[in-house]
A and B are shown apart, each in its own frame.
Chain A
Amino acid sequence: MKPILVLVSVDSNSILLGAKQFVNYLKEAIEKYNLRDTVDVLETGSMGVYTQGVVMAIFPDDIYYSVRSIEDVEKIVSEHLLKGRAVLPLELPKERLKLVVEKERVTEEVRIVLRNVGVIDPKSIDQYIARDGYFALHKALFEMTPQQVIQTIKESGLRGRGGAGFPTGLKWEFTAKVQADQKYVVCNADEGEPGTFKDRLIMEGDPHSVIEAMIICGYAVGATKGYIYIRGEYYGSVENVQKAIKDAYEYGFLGKNILGSGFSFDLTVRLGAGAYVCGEETALLESIEGKSGRPRLKPPYPPTQGLFGKPTVINNVETFANVPQIILNGANWFKQFGTKGSPGTKVFSLVGNVVKRGIVEVPMGISVRELIYRFGGGLLGGKRLYMVQTGGTAGTFIGVDKLDVPLDYESFRDHGVSIGSGVILAMDEDVCPVDVALNTMEFFEHESCGKCTPCREGTRLAVQILRKMSKGQGQKEDLETLKQIALVTQEASLCGLGQSINVPLLSILDNFKEDFVNHIGASSCPRGVCRFEKPTKVKTKV
């Protein structure tokens, strides 16, 4: 090992900020300055923060830089690597990356899911193993019965991180109990929820953790085949996961008679092809089966009748990524994080008008305020926070009055704030709630699969009304009609997509009612966002 290690974030977001170019330049510079025996460069996953620059970490100095140009790289090489002087203007405040618990109670970042992301080379199975990778698989196969694995996951209290929050252990238990000649494990990596990109960063930064968890799950429930269904647009994830699967086969973690245990498991990748509804579990199964992704009527649920009609466990990427750590460290270890009803951590994506966009993994129960101001650095340009969308597009719109609600799976029931897939989309005072509502409903209208009438027609009707309102042609009755649409669509839709439309729609109508009322009958958009059009007058002959 060389004395100095430079870690560079080369995930998909960072690449857009120039990461590849910077790494290449860095390597050239190291050659140029004859540092090749002193400095190692390692490309790794996301370090969690995007300050409009690529994050570079230098060890053992433990200094983090935000790099925006080739000149910055040059400066780091000539100053830091050659002369050992930190380049202060480029340095990232450490509290954002490594938080120190101060006297007052503040939330610290806890990395369970992201423990390897931004630390190891995701393309190296050896580096994963060096961080206790596949130790959990070994433990499960040789020291635990399938029932004990399920019991551990049940006791840990792990709940589905895709949004619905269903207890993972219970899901596994249902599947294990069904007798069948073939069972499947499916990983839902069709991350299409606007604002969410955690799964992508997990797959790009630590693909083996997901693979290891799926094998453990297969052992626990008696499944011998698995699919990872990844969004077709996620090239980086697909590449890293496919490489990881190949390596896992070579090392004997996949395939026949894994590690000599007698258990066999096959795993492959399937790509989505651009349909948000395929994130719904039964639609996703249909898609793997080579059909249009139209959801099935439930029950029967996947644990009894899933892929090809066989019992199937289907979990989200983040859910799976928790599993190896739980098996290794035990249920009680996991329960020390988070809240009683929602143990563990959650990966949040901070997006919108915050200063520091990125992802952060913190214990359940953190407040929206902490996420936006402590981890997100507040609002860009010192603007005032006006509204926040939590949980994703199917999540809730809240005002500043609800910033202190603790986020866990109970927060929606108790305070009307959804945790969903972990999106915190902060919007400043320049947004218009009518425009935001229209954009949201246009999304659902476009993504509705069309199979059931309430969702297909409900979303279309809501868009028509909101479009009219955004042109300044709204009427008071429209608000009531929108509420009716929301409730009917919720009640009568076939799947989770239609059933969840009421959540964003009702929350924005309730929490920002005044904005909607002020919009109606005004001469221009009160917030200067929507473009008003005069209704076309029909000339009648007298």
Chain B
Amino acid sequence: MVDREAIVNLVRNIKQQALEERDMLINALHQIQNHFGSYIPVEAAKLVAEELNVPESKVYEVLTFYTMFSIKPRGKYVVRVCVNLPCHVTGGRQIIETLKQTLGIDFDQTTSDGLFTLERTSCLGLCGVAPVIMVNDEYYGDLTPKKVKELIESLRARGEGR
């Protein structure tokens, strides 16, 4: 269930931080996604539309345009792997293969225990320590297939599935 009051309060807070009347939508969506962890439920998006007085269709369009937003629940750990050239030529390809193998899923899929979602990302601006991945809001650099396997195993041991 979406806590109506919490969402409305969030949006009203955003309104107070605004410089202009129309600069709030993406800011609001960011905070709502943080509130729910890794996605934005439809009911919450509808509330945003209501509070900011924009059409629901518009909120949905924005939600689906940006890769950082998701309309369906993601795993407890969202693994974002950089697929761009600076990572690609420093061993990124093996990192992607290792991730897919270790997790047993492809891009944009979630493991059946609900722990991991694998996503591709553009450059994370950490090419000084490429290849790089991000797990939720933590970065991991200078990766090798071995390090990736260890990382996933330790997360698996830590996290409980749903």
B84 close to A439 (CB less than 8 A): yes
A292 close to B22 (CB less than 8 A): no
> What's the least CB distance linking A540 to chain B, in Å?
33
A290 to B84, CA, bound (A): 27
Q: Which residues of B contact A289 (CB under 8 A)?
A: 22-23
B137 on interface, CB distance cutoff 8 Å: yes
Can you name the residue of chain B whose Cβ is closest to the Cβ of A225? B19
Q: Which residues of B contact A349 (CB under 8 A)?
A: 127-128
The stretch that binds A, out of B109-117, B118-126, B148-156, is: B118-126
Q: Which residues of A contact B2 (CB under 8 A)?
A: none
Q: Which residues of B contact A339 (CB under 8 A)?
A: none
A351 close to B68 (CB less than 8 A): no
A232 close to B30 (CB less than 8 A): yes
Q: Which residues of B contact A196 (CB under 8 A)?
A: 123, 125, 127
B122 close to A443 (CB less than 8 A): yes
Can you name the residue of chain B whose Cβ is closest to the Cβ of A237? B125
Name B84's contact: one of A52, A275, A288, A443 (CB within 8 Å): A443
B29 on interface, CB distance cutoff 8 Å: yes
> What's the least CB distance linking A205 to chain B, in Å?
13
Interface residues on B, range: 35 or more
**Which A432-464 residues sit within 8 Å CB-CB of chain B?**
436, 439-440, 442-443, 446-447, 449
A292 close to B17 (CB less than 8 A): no
B142 close to A52 (CB less than 8 A): yes
A16 close to B126 (CB less than 8 A): yes
Name A232's contact: one of B23, B68, B127 (CB within 8 Å): B68
Chain A, 370-383, contact with B by CB distance < 8 Å: what is the 0/1 string? 00000000000000
CB within 8 Å for A290 and B123 given contacts A266-B19, A273-B68, A353-B89: no
A-B interface pairs (CB < 8 A), number:
157
Residue of A52, A352, A389 ringed by the most chain B CB atoms within 10 A: A352
B68 close to A15 (CB less than 8 A): no
Q: Which residues of A contact B90 (CB under 8 A)?
A: 352-353
A196 to B84, CA, bound (A): 11
B142 close to A194 (CB less than 8 A): no
A235 on interface, CB distance cutoff 8 Å: yes
A202 to B20, CA, bound (A): 27
Can you name the residue of chain A whose Cβ is closest to the Cβ of B23? A288
Name B29's contact: one of A197, A273, A288 (CB within 8 Å): A273
A1 to B22, CA, bound (A): 48
A275 close to B65 (CB less than 8 A): yes
Chain B, 18-33, contact with A by CB distance < 8 Å: what is the 0/1 string? 0110111111011000
Residue of B17, B58, B84 ringed by the most chain A CB atoms within 10 A: B84
> Interface residues, chain B, CB within 8 Å of chain A?
17, 19-20, 22-27, 29-30, 52, 54, 58, 61-62, 65-69, 83-86, 88-90, 120-130, 132, 134, 137, 139-142
Name 8 A/B residue pairs within 8 A (Cβ), A-sorted. A12-B125, A16-B140, A290-B26, A349-B128, A352-B127, A353-B90, A427-B89, A439-B88
Q: What would 20 more interface pairs be, CB under 8 Å, given A16-B139, A349-B127, A393-B84? A: A13-B126, A192-B123, A231-B125, A233-B68, A266-B19, A270-B26, A271-B27, A273-B26, A274-B122, A287-B26, A290-B22, A290-B54, A291-B62, A292-B61, A349-B128, A352-B85, A359-B128, A431-B89, A439-B85, A443-B83
